[in-house]
A and B are shown apart, each in its own frame.
Chain A
Amino acid sequence: MTDIKIKIESLYKIFGNKPASVLQHVHDGMSKADLLEKHGHVLGLKDINVDIPARGISVIMGLSGSGKSTLIRHINRLIEPTAGKVIIDDQDVLAMNKKQLGDFRRHKASMVFQKFGLHVHKTVAENVAYGLVIQGIALKEAKKQSQKWLDRVGLAGFEEHYPSQLSGGMQQRVGLARALATDAEILLMDEAFSALDPLIRTDMQDVLLDLQTELHKTIVFITHDLDEALRIGDNIAILRDGAVIQQGEPQNIIINPADDYIFDFVKDINRGRVLQVKTLMSTGTGISGPDIVEKTVLEDALQVIANADTKAANIVDEGGNTVGSITLEQVVKGLARPDVETNPESRYR
Chain B
Amino acid sequence: MSSLTEFLTTFPAMGRRDLSELKKAIDGGFRTFSREFGESLENFFYPLLKFLVWLEKLLLATPWPIIILIVAALAWFGSRSIKIVIGSVLSFLAIGYFGMWKDTMSTLAIISVSTIVCISVGIPLGILMARSDRAQAIVTPILDIMQTIPAFVYLIPVVMLLGIGKVPGLIAVCIYAIPPVVRLTNLGIRLVEKEALEAADAFGANYRQRLFGVQIPLALPNIFAGINQTIMMALAMVVIASMIGVAGLGVPVLRSISNQYLALGMMNGLAIVALAIIFDRVSQSYGERLQRHRHGVQHD
Which of A's residues lie within 8 Å of B, judged by CB? 76, 78, 101-107, 110-111, 113, 115-121, 130-131, 133-135, 161-168, 171, 178, 182, 188
| B residues less than 8 Å from A178 (CB atoms) | 203
Q: B214 contacts A119, CB within 8 Å?
A: yes
B300 to chain A, nearest CB (A): 8
B253 to chain A, nearest CB (A): 42
Q: B204 contacts A164, CB within 8 Å?
A: no
Chain B CB within 10 A, most for which of A111, A121, A133:
A121
Q: A164 contacts B297, CB within 8 Å?
A: yes
Enumerate the 8 nearest inter-chain pairs by beta-carbon distance, A residue then B residue, closest first: A164-B296, A105-B204, A165-B296, A117-B199, A106-B204, A162-B293, A117-B195, A111-B202
| B residues less than 8 Å from A167 (CB atoms) | 297, 299
12 contacts between A and B (CB under 8 A): A101-B204, A111-B199, A113-B195, A116-B195, A119-B199, A120-B293, A134-B204, A162-B296, A163-B296, A165-B296, A178-B203, A182-B203
How long is the Cα–Cα vector from A167 to B300 in the complex, in angstroms?
A: 9
If A76-B202, A106-B204, A121-B217 touch, whether A164 touches B295 (CB-CB below 8 Å) is: yes
Q: A78 contacts B196, CB within 8 Å?
A: no
| B residues less than 8 Å from A135 (CB atoms) | 204
Q: Tell me how many residue pairs across A and B have CB atoms closer than 8 Å.
A: 84
User: A120-B196, A162-B292 provided; 13 other pairs, C-beta below 8 A?
Assistant: A105-B204, A115-B195, A117-B195, A117-B199, A118-B196, A121-B293, A131-B203, A134-B203, A166-B299, A167-B297, A168-B299, A178-B203, A182-B203
Closest to B210 in A: A134
Closest to A123 in B: B293
| A residues less than 8 Å from B206 (CB atoms) | 102
Which of B's residues lie within 8 Å of A, judged by CB? 195-196, 198-206, 209, 213-214, 217-218, 220, 292-299
How long is the Cα–Cα vector from A102 to B204 in the complex, in angstroms?
A: 5
How long is the Cα–Cα vector from A166 to B300 in the complex, in angstroms?
A: 11
| A residues less than 8 Å from B220 (CB atoms) | 121
If A113-B195, A121-B218 touch, whether A165 touches B297 (CB-CB below 8 Å) is: yes
How long is the Cα–Cα vector from A87 to B88 in the complex, in angstroms?
A: 65
Q: B198 contacts A164, CB within 8 Å?
A: no
How long is the Cα–Cα vector from A103 to B196 in the complex, in angstroms?
A: 20
A80 to chain B, nearest CB (A): 12
A185 to chain B, nearest CB (A): 15
Q: B202 contacts A120, CB within 8 Å?
A: no
Closest to A132 in B: B203
A251 to chain B, nearest CB (A): 33
B218 to chain A, nearest CB (A): 6
Chain A CB within 10 A, most for which of B199, B293, B295, B297:
B199
How long is the Cα–Cα vector from A198 to B298 in the complex, in angstroms?
A: 20
How long is the Cα–Cα vector from A117 to B206 in the complex, in angstroms?
A: 17
B40 to chain A, nearest CB (A): 41
A105 to chain B, nearest CB (A): 3
Closest to B201 in A: A78
If A113-B198, A115-B195, A119-B214 touch, whether A130 touches B297 (CB-CB below 8 Å) is: no
| B residues less than 8 Å from A117 (CB atoms) | 195-196, 198-199, 202
How long is the Cα–Cα vector from A228 to B167 in the complex, in angstroms?
A: 68
| A residues less than 8 Å from B198 (CB atoms) | 78, 113, 117
How long is the Cα–Cα vector from A115 to B198 in the complex, in angstroms?
A: 11
Closest to B298 in A: A164
B205 to chain A, nearest CB (A): 5
Q: A120 contacts B203, CB within 8 Å?
A: no
Q: B203 contacts A130, CB within 8 Å?
A: yes
How long is the Cα–Cα vector from A275 to B293 in the complex, in angstroms?
A: 47
| A residues less than 8 Å from B205 (CB atoms) | 134
Closest to A115 in B: B195
Closest to A131 in B: B203
How long is the Cα–Cα vector from A168 to B298 in the complex, in angstroms?
A: 10
| A residues less than 8 Å from B218 (CB atoms) | 119-121
B129 to chain A, nearest CB (A): 22
Q: A78 contacts B202, CB within 8 Å?
A: yes
A114 to chain B, nearest CB (A): 8
How long is the Cα–Cα vector from A178 to B198 in the complex, in angstroms?
A: 14
How long is the Cα–Cα vector from A171 to B199 in the complex, in angstroms?
A: 14
How long is the Cα–Cα vector from A111 to B197 in the complex, in angstroms?
A: 13
A217 to chain B, nearest CB (A): 16
| B residues less than 8 Å from A165 (CB atoms) | 296-297
| B residues less than 8 Å from A120 (CB atoms) | 196, 218, 293-294
How long is the Cα–Cα vector from A318 to B273 in the complex, in angstroms?
A: 84
Closest to A76 in B: B202
A220 to chain B, nearest CB (A): 13
Closest to A106 in B: B204
| A residues less than 8 Å from B200 (CB atoms) | 119, 134
Closest to A181 in B: B203
B51 to chain A, nearest CB (A): 33
How long is the Cα–Cα vector from A197 to B202 in the complex, in angstroms?
A: 26
A192 to chain B, nearest CB (A): 13
Q: B199 contacts A113, CB within 8 Å?
A: yes
A2 to chain B, nearest CB (A): 26
Q: B202 contacts A105, CB within 8 Å?
A: yes
Closest to A121 in B: B217
Q: A164 contacts B294, CB within 8 Å?
A: yes
How long is the Cα–Cα vector from A188 to B199 in the complex, in angstroms?
A: 12
A276 to chain B, nearest CB (A): 36
Closest to B209 in A: A134
B197 to chain A, nearest CB (A): 9
How long is the Cα–Cα vector from A116 to B218 in the complex, in angstroms?
A: 16
How long is the Cα–Cα vector from A9 to B294 in the complex, in angstroms?
A: 44
Closest to A164 in B: B296
Closest to A105 in B: B204
| A residues less than 8 Å from B296 (CB atoms) | 161-166
Q: A104 contacts B204, CB within 8 Å?
A: yes
Chain A CB within 10 A, most for which of B293, B297, B298:
B293
| B residues less than 8 Å from A111 (CB atoms) | 199, 202-203
How long is the Cα–Cα vector from A120 to B221 in the complex, in angstroms?
A: 13
